[in-house]
Each structure stands twice: as structure tokens, then as C-alpha cells.
Structure 1
């Protein structure tokens, strides 16, 4: 190896951008090394795998080389298989095989291309590649066989994964782990447990696969049992437990694992930290989020883009979009598409439609290409701010300019956009003209709009469609019942309630959470009282009395059954969980504190009015995050401008 070759390879080792790659390529052309297989192979590998935006250039390099060897072929297959379009690896492989412009495949070739089929989720392509591997006598090769097991697992065929595994003569621990993962992917917990017991040797990865599998299946007690039995734990083990409990809504337990992680002296990693931040975001635990923020700053984690993204999400979902914006502005210059999308979504949730649009334009100006999730966020922003024309423009922009095919979520945003603004017939026509079958969520969005605007006739049509798809959904029955009640159609209300009773459909109980002194308290409407709820009820009675005298409050009981006494109706709406949570917060929190509530259902009109009155009479700021959006109450007004 001459000095020029050494120089090129050394420069490549430290190369991180496409611009510098092209400069090194220019040097190879100038010195005649562009035909050197070693240098060209390393240059291709760097473009295909190491530099994030250089894959297109890697393809040009590959097809420019006159006689690519198997290493080069495998490199381009590897890069394509691990890209955002893994199907291109399969297409490219087939084209090159037909043209004869590719070296005969080896075990690495099939391992990479099978990974492409797995990432794409194409069982058909996977089976065809399996046949090709058999034709070349490589299907029982340890490397290829292990990848085949993973491919069948990703495609949901655990039986085929098991059969391939049995044909591997001497499976190693990696192959065993691949089969274990395949069983969990297919939700075959019994087989996974059997395989784990049969394993001749287990490594740390084997245990971590069990933890992840149990957590994703919702079997948290089994995950906890396996965790306690582990001979050695690493940061992945702890992260898996924290994120697993967070995703299953068990925030207290997740927090317990994080505290135990610190107690035993383990250093929290990027995954565990983002997991705990996600827990804070979902639970609305802003005070604990602030503690984590200080820890992250002290430990030097704020240089990581993913941690900043999680921190932004936490503050925005805890009702403090101002701090989220500050974090966004202070982030390193290389913000990702996730960073921009998180900021757009944060502003959208809080009803700041115009600001969300401005951030979207700033994103485009910075050279970051918005993806499908970004467009969901911007359409959501338009919907919740009543920006109908702008929403329609962005929907067209997504398709015509960015070439993004609308997913069901995008169609749902458009239905919501029309529905919230009262254009119910246009929303209905839009659903009927969709090129894909509308899901229950689409129809449910329209039913919610019918409820907001009191359109009984259209609500009945929509409910018929929902009954065909999900006849036992309690929320649909309750929505229709409320629509009838507000319209005074009490016989129809009774019919819906009787139908629910006959089908044994129970209404989803409403709950609200509030954080006081870094402890999360949950209130459920009608739940058996304890000391905490008694304290909340006592304060609530005092509040309601004051609101009647000083705020002119009269309960909105239009949707409460007509055949009970007026006093009972008032008592029914006064026991809603968000009222109890606010009362508890007013009792426990100091003067001047912002009361932050997280609710699982959409806030009702009566509670919305009560929050506005409390904010005026008591001069408090209240932030409620319901299932739909944020409501910030100040001086008798709400940030949603009664548009929710």
C-alpha cells in the first residue's frame, strides 16, 4: 500500500459528510486510485453505511465501477437494506442478477438482502430469496440461516422460523436469540419460554430479549421476574424495564426502576433517559421532568439530539410550550426532522396554529425535508386553530410537492379539519371519497364533530357505519346518547342506554391525574372515596358554592338523563374527575402555582366552563390536557377560544 492509498483511507476514516466524501473521491480520480479495488471499496462502504445522506451517491459509485466484486455488491445491498426504503435492496439485487452485473452471491449477500426483506416486511420476497439461498447451497449456513430466522419472525411466520432453525447444524447463541426474538415478534410467548429453557448457553442479550418480549406483550410481572433472575444486568436491561413500564402506562413502577438504577450506581443511558422523559410526558409530571432536566444538563446529555427531542416533548405535553420552544432554540444546529416535527406538534397541541405554520416554513428553509409525521402535525395544527384553507393547502403540498402518499392519519386530520369547523357534509363526502377504506377512528372523528355541532341526522348515519365495524365500542354509544340528550330526544337516549346494557357495554371511566410534590394522584369519577378524594370533595364543595355566588355558575346538565331530579343531575356533573383534580391541586399547591391536569377523555362543556370560572374567580392559571388538546385557562378565558 503506497502513501497515497494510506492518505485516502485515513481521510475516509474521519470523513462525516457527503461533501468531504466527494473531495476524497476527487483526490482518488486525480491520483488514479478510482480504479483501485481497495480504495473504491472503502469509499463505497463509507457512502453506503457511514454517511447518512450519501446512499444515492454510493449507488452512482457502484454502477460507475466497471467490474464490481462481491464485497462491493454486498456493500450496496447492505446500505439499501438498512435505509428508509429497504425494498430498493431487493429490486436492485434482482435487476443486477438479471443483467449479470453482480458477482455470484455469497453468505453475506443473502444475509444483507434477507435483512432488506425483513425490514420491508415482505414475506413473498423473503421466500423467494430463501429459494435462491437453497439453490446456492447457503440456506443452512449459520449466518444465512440466522438471518432467515429473523426474516420469518419479522414477517410473522414463527413456524417457518422454527423449521429453518432446526436445519442449522450447530446453532450458536446468536441463532438461538434470533429464534427467541421471532417467537416474541409473533406473540408466541409459550414457545419463547420453551426455547429459553432449552438454550444450551445464554448471554446477556438472551435475557434482554426476554425482558423486551414480555414488556411488549404487556406481561410486566413476567418481565419483572426475569429481571430479578438475571445474573448480570447492563444499561439495556434497565432501559428495557423503564421503557416497557412506561409504554404500558405504569409510570410509578417505571420511575421506581429509574431511581433503583441510580441507587445501584449504574449510569443512565440515552434510551433510559428518553424513556423516563416519555413517562413524564404521558403522566404530565412536570416537576419530576424539571429534576431530570437539571440532571441531563449536569451530566452533559443535552448535546444529544434525541434527549433534547424527548425533553421538548415532555415540557410541551406537560403544558409548558414556552420552555419547549426555548429548548428547541438552544439545540445544536443539526436539528433532525424529529426535532422540527416535535416543535410543530407542541405548538399544534396548544392551539398555536400560526406559530406552528411558521416553524414548518423555517424547517423547509433550513433544508430539512418534512416527512409524513410532520404533515400530521401541521394538519393537526390547522384543524385545532380553524385554519381550513391552510390545512387544505398543506394536504395538497404533501402529495404534489413532497410525494408523500396520505396515510389514514392524514385523512383523519382532514375529516377533523372540516368537522370542527362545522362543515359536516363536506367531511362526510370527504370520507366517502377516500381512496382507502375508512377506519373506525375516521368515522368516530366525524361522530365527535356531529356531537359538537348537534347534527343528529348525520350522527345516526355515522353511528350505523361504526356499528358495522365496532359494534361494542362504548365511546360511540355514549357520544350518540349525548347527542340525543342535548337534542331532547330522551326515548332515543333510553334506547341507546338499554342497548349498552343488553350488550354489557360499559362506559370508559374518566380519570384525571395531577402532580403534587413530585407524586402523581389519580382521580376517577364515582370511585370509592379515600382520604385523598375526601379532601378533594371537601374543597370542591367550597369551590362550587363560591362559583355560584361570585361567578353566576349554573351547571350544564343537558346531556344528563332527564328522568332524575335536577339536584342529582348537578351532582352528576360536579363529580367529574378533572373537577376533583383541580380542587385537590388548589388544596395542596401553594398560592400562585399553575395547576396542571392530564385527562384521558375529552373535557365536557360543564367542566370547561367551571375551569374558566375558577381561573377568573380565584385568579389561577389552570392547564388541562385532555384526549384532544391543551386548554390553558386564564382570567376566565381558554386558549382554545371555545374551539375544541
Structure 2
């Protein structure tokens, strides 16, 4: 009766899988198989004490598939034990199921143990191992397995090639991907729609968007996966507008987006200012019948937050059927970029109170919120708690946040010690954060030391030159400023030109400093001059600390008056309804003078002005910015 007891334990394991899948809202294998047949099979085994039959093997593999689909590793180990007790562990069909289950559950060591004990392996076995390594982020190892299986005389199939292309995409090995492409052509599988979609994905993730587009164009038939891969490729290459054009084109060609496509489109809208278009995609999601799952819901929240509507992000959050660490982290990130630091801390406590375990991304969002609200003590406390209470090892992003937090609060020695005390050699990101803090507080000596480190690590890093040059200008040292500029020019390092974007009537307008090309520039200059007079009457004094031009005061003031964000704001004022809010985006950090002048403008015209720069959102209203000067 040993087998009957084993089968009973198997049934208990299967029911646990069933309950787990029900909790996730997923149909389980228990639902999909014929339960009455399973019970008859159990009764049959009880009567004849038969060791194994084909139905038993199918049941084992079915349960393993169920465990793999919900990542139920411990349940899978329980099933493995039953397989051993039934003596089925040498069956190739069951062995493949075990390798697949362990690989998909992330236990690649267990997968290898089963793999090495298998008396024979076929292409399915090798595919499970290749895809398992891809899933675990071991793309290079997956490629080695691909080579080894061919050396063993196993011919790859379309599933193998899909896995290998994913491996190339994950580690950005475009040349290896091109070799695989040639091999697929030789195998005659290039017309397979899944393989074609993987080509598009691989080339796009490796940064070769042209190759990806060529493959998509040449595919005999394109499915939603290939279109989605191309949309994400353009998003990854920061070509949001092209991503949106593709999203619209696929719908025009009769292809219905899936939830992943919507995520890509929402990411594209999040990179710009297209709040109303993002709302339209939200409506499309609802009309398409997709539920607000973790990925679509989080993308909607991210889009709304980055487009300046944190209230809409909260509405989506509150409508989610359940919240997990992804949704909580997304809303915390939204609070961070909008400067709602204290609210972020309150929501973090609520998240933990509901039993949701934070991860490393959660703490990046939380520390960012502390930075933009000037909450130094709280940030340091969370950083310590992350390591002590949650056993999360600090990554580069966490260390950079702490350097930024300390530096902005004028704790420059502590921030420098943080940079120098990192286990690996100093990285550019925390050094740039510390250099920015030196600029804020005018610490020339430390800035020189940090800039030297940045340029030793990355000689072509423009930030090292530009920020140090600004620091010398603020200190009144014209000679050293000119030396830095000469070094930058000699090395061919270009300053990133400041650009500002504003969307009016579904059209995005771009402005640069001293812009003369816009067709309405005469009207813009006239209104800007009128506003400047009103601002001066209200007490506005231009901040000329970082003006780089060695010219008279009047010309410096004129230069400041024609910064790109001021031009964009005035353009918005004369082309939108009175009282309506303005939303603009800038590719650099807002300068001190523009920050001050926008506060005056918001009070004079009685408008809310939302400015998204590289650091955060600045929400100006009635003469106040909600960043509270923590930027």
C-alpha cells in the first residue's frame, strides 16, 4: 500500500497547487484535467496496487507543469519525492518535466542535478535548461549550453532558437545574435512567427532598432508579439514617438494589442508629456476587457505620475484588485518624483502593515522620496533598516541615493566618505551626485577632487566638465573656468543643449535657449518682456550665479530671460485657456533663476505650472513650488 499513500500525498500536493492558483486567479491543472478520471485511477491503484501506468506519468507531468506555472518550488519538490517513490524518476518524459519545473522555479542547481542523472536527453531536455538559464539571468551560460547540445548531436528546434535569442537579448550580444540568425536561416525556420518575434526582440534590446525594423518588415506574418517587441524596442531607445506611431499602425492593420503591448505604449507616453493620449490608452485598456493586473496597472500609475498627475496614479492604485510589492513601489516612486516625501513614508508603513515585503526597488523609491523632501534622518534610518531588517544588500543605486541625500543637506564629508568607502572602486553615478552637491554648496576644493575622479573613469563624461565649470563661474574664477572649457573642447566632449517641450492642442513644441526659429517667437518675446516687468515690480531679482558668459549685467539678465523653459511657459500661456494648468518637460535640471521666475509667473498669471526636469516634478502654484527647494 506504499504506492497508495504516495498517491494520496500527491493528491494533497495537487490540491495545494490548485488552491494557490485559485488565489492568483489562474485556472489550475486540477481544473483542466478530468478529476473523476483521477479519482477512478486512484481507486484502481488501491485495488490492484499497480506501480505505474501511462496515466500516472501524465498526472505527474501535469502536476509538475502546474508547479512550474505558479513557481511552487516546495510543492514541486514534494512531487519529485513521490516520483522517486513510484520509481518513475528514470522516465524521460517525467525527467523533462522535473528539469522544466526546477528551471522555471529558479532552482537551476536542482535542474542540473536531475539533468545530470537522466539516462538520455532529448531536445526538450536541453530546451528546458537553456530557457531556465535565460530565466535566471544567465544568458552567457545559456549560450554555452546551446553550443554543447549541438556538440552532443542534438538538433535545435524553434523553441531552442527562441531561448537562445532571448539569451543574446538579455546580455546584449548582438554579434552572437547575428550568428544565430544565420543558423536559423540555414535551418529553414526564419518564417516561424515566434522565431521572427524573437529576432525583433533581440535586435531591439541590443540597440539595433534598424535591424529589428527590417526583420519585422520582412516577416511573412506578424503577430502581436512581434509588434509589441518593436514598440518596446523604440521605448528602450528613447524613441517614444516612434513607439506610439507603431502602436497606432498595428491597430490600423487590424492587430489587437494585448496587455503587454499596452504596457509598452504606456511606457512611451510616460517618457513624454502626453497625458491626454495616455488617458485614451487607459480607456482602450478598459474597453479591451483587460483587468488591471500588476503590469498594466503599474504602467498606468507610472504613466500618470510621470505625466504630472499623481492623483490619477492614486486612483488607479486604489482600483487595483490587489496590491503587491510592484504596485506599492510604483506609487512610492510617483510620490518621490512629485516631492511627496512624507506621504511616501506614510504609505511605506501602510504597505508593511499589510504584510507586503519591500524589495530593493522599493527602497530606491523610498530613498528618492527622502531626497526630494530633505528627510535626511529618515533616509539614513531606512537605509540601515534595509540591510538590518530586510537583508537587502545595498546596490549602486542605493549608495548613490545616500550620497545625494547627504550632499544636498550639506553633509559633504559624510557623503565623500560614503563614496570612498564603497566596496568597489568609486562609480561615476555617486561621484556625479557628490559633484552636484559641491555645486549647490560652493565647495570648490572637493569639487576639483571629485571631478578629477569622474574624468579618470569616464574622460568623455560631460557632467565632470560642465558642473566644475559652473562651480568656477559661481566662485568668480574666470581663468579656471576657461581652462576647463578648453579641456572639454580639446577632447571633443559636447555639452548637452538644454531643451524644453510643451504639448498644446496635441502638438509638441520644442524650445532651446535664445530660440529664434519658432513661428510665434515675436509674440513670445513681447509677452515675456511684459511679464518680466511685472516680475520685477513684484520683487523678482535675477540669479546670475551660474551665468557663464563674461558680459555686462544687462546682457546676463537678457540671457537668463531667454532660457528654454521660460520660452515654453510663455508660449503655453498665450496658446491655452486662462486658468488651465501648463505641463512642460526639460532635459536638464531646472536652473535656479528659472525656478525663481516660474514661482513669480505662476502667481502673476494665476496658473499652475508643472515642470518635469531630470530630477523631479516642480509644481508651481500661487508663487510657491511644492518641491520646497529640495531639488
The CA distance in 1 between the partners of 2:575 and 2:291, in whole Å, is: 33
Which string of whole-angstrom CA distances, capped at 9 and with x for unpartnered residues, describes residues 331-389 of structure 1?
A: 112x3322111011011111111221222222223333222111111111122222222
Partner of 1:504: 492
Partner of 1:377: 365
TM-score with structure 2 setting the length: 0.85
Which string of whole-angstrom CA distances, capped at 9 and with x for unpartnered residues, describes residues 45-91 of structure 1?
A: 14531224x222322442464345144443343233223xx4x31x2
Higher mean C-alpha displacement, 522-531 vs 426-435: 522-531
Q: Is the 2:57–2:94 contact (alpha carbons within 8 Å) kept by the matching residues of 1?
A: no
Q: Is the 2:618–2:627 contact (alpha carbons within 8 Å) kept by the matching residues of 1?
A: yes
Q: Give unmatched runs, 5+ long, in structure 1.
A: 157-180
Q: Indicate yes or no: 2:79 matched with 1:58.
A: no
Q: Indicate yes or no: 2:393 matched with 1:405.
A: yes
Partner of 1:291: 280
Partner of 1:109: 125
Shift of 1:144: 8.3
* Among 597, 611, 617, the residue aligned to 1:610: 597
Partner of 2:502: 514
Shift of 1:554: 2.1
Q: Is the 2:620–2:626 contact (alpha carbons within 8 Å) kept by the matching residues of 1?
A: yes
TM-score with structure 1 setting the length: 0.83
- Alpha-carbon distance change, 187 to 577 in structure 1, aligned in 2, over 3 angstroms: farther
Q: Is the 1:9–1:42 contact (alpha carbons within 8 Å) kept by the matching residues of 2?
A: no
Partner of 2:310: 321
Higher mean C-alpha displacement, 563-572 vs 206-215: 206-215
Partner of 1:75: 97
Shift of 1:220: 4.0
* Among 277, 292, 295, the residue aligned to 1:306: 295
The CA distance in 2 between the partners of 1:436 and 1:578, in whole Å, is: 39
Matches within 5 A, 1:242-641: 242-333=231-322, 335-527=323-515, 529-549=517-537, 551-561=538-548, 563-641=550-628
Which string of whole-angstrom CA distances, capped at 9 and with x for unpartnered residues, describes residues 434-487 of structure 1?
A: 123321111101111111111111111111111110122222211111111112
Q: Is the 1:153–1:186 contact (alpha carbons within 8 Å) kept by the matching residues of 2?
A: no
Shift of 1:330: 1.1
The CA distance in 1 between the partners of 2:566 and 2:626, in whole Å, is: 18
The CA distance in 2 between the partners of 1:208 and 1:144, in whole Å, is: 15
2:583 counterpart SS class: strand
The CA distance in 2 between the partners of 1:262 and 1:106, in whole Å, is: 43
Q: Give unmatched runs, 5+ long, in structure 2.
A: none
The CA distance in 1 between the partners of 2:603 and 2:337, in whole Å, is: 23
- Alpha-carbon distance change, 121 to 144 in structure 1, aligned in 2, over 3 angstroms: farther
The CA distance in 2 between the partners of 1:192 and 1:23, in whole Å, is: 39
The CA distance in 2 between the partners of 1:399 and 1:182, in whole Å, is: 28
1:596 counterpart SS class: strand
The CA distance in 2 between the partners of 1:222 and 1:153, in whole Å, is: 14
Which string of whole-angstrom CA distances, capped at 9 and with x for unpartnered residues, describes residues 165-188 of structure 1?
A: xxxxxxxxxxxxxxxx79974346
* Among 144, 155, 165, the residue aligned to 1:142: 155
Partner of 2:67: 48
- Alpha-carbon distance change, 75 to 511 in structure 1, aligned in 2, over 3 angstroms: same
The CA distance in 2 between the partners of 1:328 and 1:246, in whole Å, is: 24
Shift of 1:155: 6.4
Which string of whole-angstrom CA distances, capped at 9 and with x for unpartnered residues, describes residues 272-296 of structure 1?
A: 2222211111102112112222232
The CA distance in 1 between the partners of 2:307 and 2:170, in whole Å, is: 37
- Alpha-carbon distance change, 155 to 50 in structure 1, aligned in 2, over 3 angstroms: closer
The CA distance in 2 between the partners of 1:103 and 1:214, in whole Å, is: 35
Shift of 1:626: 0.7
- Alpha-carbon distance change, 182 to 457 in structure 1, aligned in 2, over 3 angstroms: closer
- Alpha-carbon distance change, 292 to 562 in structure 1, aligned in 2, over 3 angstroms: closer
The CA distance in 1 between the partners of 2:289 and 2:532, in whole Å, is: 48
The CA distance in 2 between the partners of 1:199 and 1:143, in whole Å, is: 9
- Alpha-carbon distance change, 79 to 453 in structure 1, aligned in 2, over 3 angstroms: farther
Which string of whole-angstrom CA distances, capped at 9 and with x for unpartnered residues, describes residues 3-37 of structure 1?
A: x99x9699869925168899999x99x98889874
Which string of whole-angstrom CA distances, capped at 9 and with x for unpartnered residues, describes residues 405-455 of structure 1?
A: 221111111111211211110011011111233211111011111111111
Higher mean C-alpha displacement, 138-147 vs 244-253: 138-147
- Alpha-carbon distance change, 543 to 194 in structure 1, aligned in 2, over 3 angstroms: farther
Higher mean C-alpha displacement, 270-279 vs 16-25: 16-25
The CA distance in 1 between the partners of 2:171 and 2:628, in whole Å, is: 50
- Alpha-carbon distance change, 305 to 123 in structure 1, aligned in 2, over 3 angstroms: closer
Q: Is the 2:243–2:265 contact (alpha carbons within 8 Å) kept by the matching residues of 1?
A: yes
Higher mean C-alpha displacement, 201-210 vs 460-469: 201-210
Q: Is the 1:16–1:50 contact (alpha carbons within 8 Å) kept by the matching residues of 2?
A: no
1:142 counterpart SS class: coil
Higher mean C-alpha displacement, 573-582 vs 613-622: 573-582
Which string of whole-angstrom CA distances, capped at 9 and with x for unpartnered residues, describes residues 271-328 of structure 1?
A: 2222221111110211211222223223323433322211111110011111111110
Shift of 1:38: 3.8
The CA distance in 1 between the partners of 2:112 and 2:257, in whole Å, is: 45
1:450 counterpart SS class: helix
Q: Is the 1:150–1:182 contact (alpha carbons within 8 Å) kept by the matching residues of 2?
A: no
The CA distance in 2 between the partners of 1:68 and 1:404, in whole Å, is: 40
Q: Is the 1:139–1:145 contact (alpha carbons within 8 Å) kept by the matching residues of 2?
A: no
Q: Is the 1:68–1:103 contact (alpha carbons within 8 Å) kept by the matching residues of 2?
A: no
